Amino acid sequence: MTEENGQFESRKREHIELSLLPDNQATGRSGLDEYHLPHCAMPEIDWNEISIESSILGAVRKTPFLISSMTAGHHGSVNLNERLALAASRRGWIMGVGSQRKELFDEEAHQEWVELRKTIGSELLMVGNIGLSQVIQTPPEKIQDLVDSLKAIALFVHTNPLQEALQVEGTPYFKGGFESVARLSQILSVPVILKETGCGFSASTLQQANELGIYAVDVAGFGGTHWGRIEGGRNGADALKNQAAKTFANWGVSTYQSLLNARGLDKKNFAVWASGGIRSGLDAAKCISLGAECVGFAKPLLDSAVQSQDALEKTMEALEFELKVALFCTGSRSVNDLKKLRV
């Protein structure tokens, strides 16, 4: 059953408000604090030799960083996405957009992206986003329309079984997901990236992902914003789901363990992206050393974006600087050198 526009927009606004609350963050649980990069006391490099340029989606980008998917499809998202897009364009980050689900039932919803393109320009690199349950139920040509409306360079297919099970308006219908993603990967004009939303990936699911023909998996592990907790905060009138949300408040595979699961595969037919509780440039450096091609941030950027454009861009600058410090202090001239470290 399709939600009314008003219900959809109300839910998306609640998601943003609740994601800002500390109780909905699995702070300190990403596992990255358990992992330490080796300090190099005598790096044979000068600071000005360090480069954080990275090869992502077959092209060299200014940074290995992504603004992770946050929100779309409601009035409050327009200004927020405009700030994020402007900052991404200026600093050379890729921007993942929030779910484009509304565009499947509202012909005017794509105007948010049309206006954004007019404001920001063609240099903005955006990744589209749609849920797995929608991919299963939607003809591939309609998914292609989502990519076209955004002029996206890739498409996230997000999988969120815990959230869908706990959400009052959820669509926990995932049968046929593997077949649908594999078919979409063959037909779509841009690469497909399979993405969790804060619960990570087991080794067995990653092994199965080898057969999908996708470009990458964003592990989006446990350790950051937890959508099970957020839905619990929305379920005051539903005692059953509210209690279940409390039971599953710590459910998920940590970002660190998800990256280890990916690195442990005998064969890997996809690139690895990392997100989920990434709170610093040092966290990002750790993810890169564990094999991540691209690293996504959400909560730190959302906190800044709701303040001002300047606050957002200062946060992004700080994250880039911290990555450079990690490179320098490990004796790495480049992001590729970081991937070669023996830890």
H or E, element range at 272: strand 271-274
At position 188, the amino acid (one-letter code) is L
In the predicted structure, residue 1 carries a pLDDT above the cut 60: no
pLDDT band at 24 (very low <50, low <70, confident <90, very high): confident
Coil, helix or strand at residue 154: strand
- Chain segment 60-77, per-residue pLDDT in tens: 999 999 999 987 554 556
| Cα–Cα nearest to 158, from 86, 214, 109, 211 | 214
pLDDT band at 15 (very low <50, low <70, confident <90, very high): confident
In the predicted structure, residue 85 carries a pLDDT above the cut 90: yes
pLDDT band at 234 (very low <50, low <70, confident <90, very high): confident
User: Which residue is associated with the tokens 């996504």?
Assistant: 296
Task: Report the DSSP pairing between strands 125-131 and 94-96.
Answer: parallel
Domain ranges of the chain: 49-339
In the predicted structure, residue 296 carries a pLDDT above the cut 80: yes
- Chain segment 159-205, per-residue pLDDT in tens: 999 999 999 889 999 999 999 999 999 999 999 999 999 999 999 99
- Mean pLDDT for 131-136 is 98
| Cα–Cα nearest to 316, from 158, 11, 93 | 93
Q: What is the DSSP letter of 106?
A: -
Contact between residue 312 and residue 265 where contact means Cβ atoms under 8 Å apart: no
d(CA 275, CA 296): 5
Residues 6+ positions from 279 with CB-CB distance below 8 Å: 224, 299, 300
Domain 49-339, CATH: 3.20.20.70
pLDDT of residue 11: 63
Question: Which segment of 71-75, 147-151, 247-251, 276-280 scores lowest on mean pLDDT?
Answer: 71-75
Residues 6+ positions from 271 with CB-CB distance below 8 Å: 215, 216, 217, 293, 294
d(CA 273, CA 287): 9
